C-alpha cells in the first residue's frame, strides 16, 4: 500500500512538472548567430527567444528593479518593481543602459551604479529573465553626451583621429560584458542594442550627422571590436525609431551577419491616434522585414507620454500590438511622476493596465521561466 502511494505521488509530481515547464533540447553548434564565436549561453538565449516568440508577447521594463516612481533600490526589498507593485507580476525582459561606462565612471547617465546593474543582471538571469542593454555613449570629441550632435562618426572609424579613444571605450564596455558571470563562472548572455534610433536626428550617430555608410561601418566595426576584446556572450539588436518612410527600416541595416534581433522604438509623442497608426504600420513593416531575413523581432522601446487616458492600455496599446508577432515590448523607465513610461500604483491607468495584461495574457517573469532551452550532446 505504501509503495502504491509513493508511486502515485511520483506520477502526480511528474505530471505537474511537465504541465508547468517546457524544455527544448538543442545542439548549440547548429544554432547560428551573428557572432560566429558566440558561446553556448548566447546561442541558447537566441533559441529561447525563438521559442518564446511562438508562445506570446513578453513584457519588459527599463531599469525596473533599480528604481520606480517614489522609490529607489534597497537590499531590503525583494525584487521590487513598479509593474509588480501595480499588477502583481514582474516583467520578463529587463532593460539597462551602459552610458558613461566608457568614461570609467561608477554610475551610468541615469545615476544607476554599474555594480547594481551587474548584480541585477545576474539575479534576473538566475530567475529566468532576459536582459537587454542599450548604450547612450558620450560624444568622443566634444565630451558632450549622446545628444551632442556635432558630427564625429568618421573620426572613430578605422584611421580616424579619435579611433584610439574609441577603442579604449570599447575595452571598458567589453570588460563589463565579460564580468557577467554566475557563481559557477558561467557566462550570462545579454541582448546588446547599440546606436539605436539612427534614423532620428537627436543622437550624434543619427541620420543627419553621418552618412548611411558611415553608420553601417560604425555598427560593424563596434561588433568586430567587441569580438576582438573577447566578448562572446552577446546577441546583437538593430532598432530604428518610428519610421518617416518605409525604406528607412532597411536603409541603415548593417547586414544579417551583424544582427540577431530586429527592433523598433515607437513612443506616443503625437497623440493616441497617431501612436496607434505608427504601431500598426511600423511593426507590420518590421515583421515583413523579419520574415525575409529570418529574425525574431520586438518593440524595443515604447511608452506613453500622454497619460490622460485612463483606458490607454486597452484602447490604444492593445490594438497596436495585438497579433503583431513581436517577441516582447520594453516600456521605458519610470523616473518620477513627471517622467514615466509604464504604470505604477495609483497612476491614472493602473487599473486598466491590469486588464490589458490579462487580455493579452502577457508573458511575465513567472511565465517565461517555464520555457527553458538546454544543450544536448553534440
And the C-alpha cell for 36? 560566429
- Please tell me the predicted confidence (pLDDT) of residue 243: 97
CB atoms within 10 A of CB 313: 22
| % of the chain exceeding 70 in pLDDT | 94
Residues 226-240, mean pLDDT to the nearest whole number? 98
When pLDDT is cut at 50, 70 and 90, the band that residue 4 belongs to is very low
CA atoms within 13 A on the CB side of 342: 32
Instruction: Tell me if 14 is assigned to some domain.
Output: no
pLDDT, average across residues 219-246: 98
- Strand pairing class (71-72; 67-68): antiparallel
| More confident call, 3 vs 85 | 85
Confidence of residue 2 (pLDDT cuts 50, 70, 90): very low
pLDDT at 6 exceeding the cut of 90: no
pTM of the model: 0.94
Q: Is the pLDDT of residue 152 over 60?
A: yes
Residue-wise pLDDT tens digits, 317-364:
999 999 999 999 999 999 999 999 999 999 999 999 999 999 999 999
d(C-alpha 52, C-alpha 144), whole Å: 39
Number of domains in the chain: 1
d(CA 138, CA 30): 38
pLDDT in tens, 8-47: 444 444 344 445 678 999 999 999 999 999 999 999 999 9
Establish if 30 belongs to a structural domain. yes
In a domain, 121, yes or no: yes
| C-alpha–C-alpha distance, residues 280 and 243, integer Å | 12
Q: What is the pLDDT of residues 273-324, one digit of tens each?
A: 999 999 999 999 999 999 999 999 999 999 999 889 999 999 999 999 999 9
* Residue 107, C-beta contacts closer than 8 angstroms, at least 6 positions apart: 100, 113, 114
Look at residue 326 and tell me if it is in a domain: yes
> Are 57 and 329 contacting, i.e. CB atoms less than 8 angstroms apart?
yes
The per-residue pLDDT for 306 is: 87
Which residue bears the cell 567587441?
Answer: 226
Residue 21 lies in a domain: no
pLDDT band at 378 (very low <50, low <70, confident <90, very high): low
What is the average per-residue pLDDT within 77-85?
95
What is the chain's mean pLDDT, rounded?
94
Alpha-helical (H) ranges within 82-238 are 82-87, 114-127, 153-156, 163-178, 212-228
Residue at grid coordinates 549561453: 41
Task: Find the domain containing 232 and state its range.
Answer: 26-375
Q: Which residues of 151-172 are buried (b: 16+ CB within 10 A; e: fewer)?
A: ebbeebbeeeebeeebeebbeb
Assigned domain for 328 exists: yes
Q: Quick check: 51 and 318 in contact, CB under 8 A?
A: no
- Tens digits of per-residue pLDDT, 112-132? 999 999 999 999 999 999 999
| pLDDT above 50 (res 148) | yes
The predicted structure's pLDDT at residue 20: 62
pLDDT at 336: 96
What pLDDT does residue 77 have?
A: 86
Name the grid cell of 373. Answer: 532551452
- Tell me what pLDDT residue 377 has: 67
Which sign, positive or negative, has the C-alpha torsion 357, 81, 99, 176? negative
Residue 125 belongs to a domain with what CATH number? 3.20.20.80
Contact indicator for 206, 200 with CB cutoff of 8 Å: yes
**Confidence check: pLDDT of 163 > 70:** yes
C-alpha cell at 298: 520586438
Q: What is the pLDDT of residue 78?
A: 84
Tell whether the model's pLDDT for residue 185 goes beyond 60. yes
Cell of 336: 518620477
Is the residue at 318 inside a domain? yes
Judge whether 254 lies within some domain. yes
Amino acid at each position: 500500500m505504501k509503495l502504491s502511494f509513493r508511486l502515485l505521488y511520483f506520477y502526480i509530481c511528474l505530471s505537474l512538472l511537465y504541465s508547468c515547464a517546457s524544455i527544448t533540447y538543442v545542439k548549440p553548434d547548429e544554432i547560428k548567430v551573428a557572432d560566429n564565436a558566440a558561446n553556448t549561453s548566447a546561442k541558447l538565449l537566441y533559441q529561447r527567444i525563438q521559442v518564446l516568440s511562438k508562445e506570446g508577447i513578453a513584457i519588459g521594463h527599463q531599469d525596473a528593479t533599480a528604481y520606480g516612481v517614489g522609490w529607489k533600490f534597497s537590499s531590503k526589498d525583494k525584487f521590487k518593481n513598479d509593474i509588480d507593485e501595480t499588477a502583481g507580476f514582474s516583467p520578463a525582459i529587463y532593460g539597462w543602459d551602459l552610458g558613461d561606462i566608457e568614461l570609467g565612471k561608477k554610475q551610468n547617465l541615469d545615476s544607476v551604479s554599474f555594480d547594481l546593474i551587474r548584480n541585477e543582471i545576474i539575479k534576473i538571469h538566475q530567475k529566468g529573465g532576459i536582459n537587454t542593454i542599450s548604450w547612450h555613449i558620450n560624444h568622443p570629441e566634444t565630451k558632450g553626451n549622446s545628444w551632442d550632435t556635432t558630427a564625429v562618426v568618421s573620426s572613430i572609424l578605422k584611421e580616424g583621429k579619435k579611433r584610439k579613444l574609441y577603442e579604449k571605450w570599447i575595452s571598458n564596455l567589453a570588460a563589463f560584458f565579460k564580468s557577467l558571470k554566475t557563481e559557477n563562472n558561467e557566462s550570462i548572455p545579454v541582448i546588446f542594442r547599440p546606436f539605436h534610433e539612427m534614423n532620428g536626428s537627436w543622437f550624434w550617430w543619427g541620420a543627419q550627422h553621418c552618412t548611411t555608410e558611415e553608420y553601417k561601418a560604425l555598427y560593424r566595426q563596434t561588433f568586430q571590436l567587441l569580438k576582438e576584446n573577447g566578448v562572446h556572450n552577446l546577441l546583437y539588436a538593430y532598432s530604428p525609431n518610428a519610421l518617416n518612410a518605409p525604406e528607412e527600416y532597411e536603409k541603415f541595416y548593417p547586414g544579417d551577419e551583424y544582427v540577431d534581433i530586429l527592433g523598433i522604438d515607437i513612443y506616443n509623442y503625437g497623440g493616441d491616434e497617431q501612436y496607434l497608426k505608427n504601431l500598426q504600420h511600423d511593426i507590420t513593416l518590421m515583421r515583413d522585414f523579419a520574415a525575409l531575413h529570418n529574425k525574431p523581432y520586438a518593440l524595443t522601446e515604447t511608452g506613453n507620454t500622454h497619460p490622460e487616458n485612463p483606458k490607454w492600455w486597452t484602447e490604444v496599446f492593445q490594438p497596436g500590438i495585438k497579433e503583431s508577432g513581436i517577441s516582447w515590448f520594453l516600456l521605458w523607465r519610470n523616473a518620477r511622476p513627471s517622467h514615466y513610461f509604464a504604470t505604477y500604483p495609483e497612476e491614472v491607468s493602473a487599473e486598466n493596465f491590469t486588464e490589458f495584461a490579462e487580455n493579452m495574457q502577457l508573458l511575465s517573469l513567472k511565465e517565461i521561466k517555464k520555457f527553458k532551452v538546454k544543450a544536448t550532446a553534440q
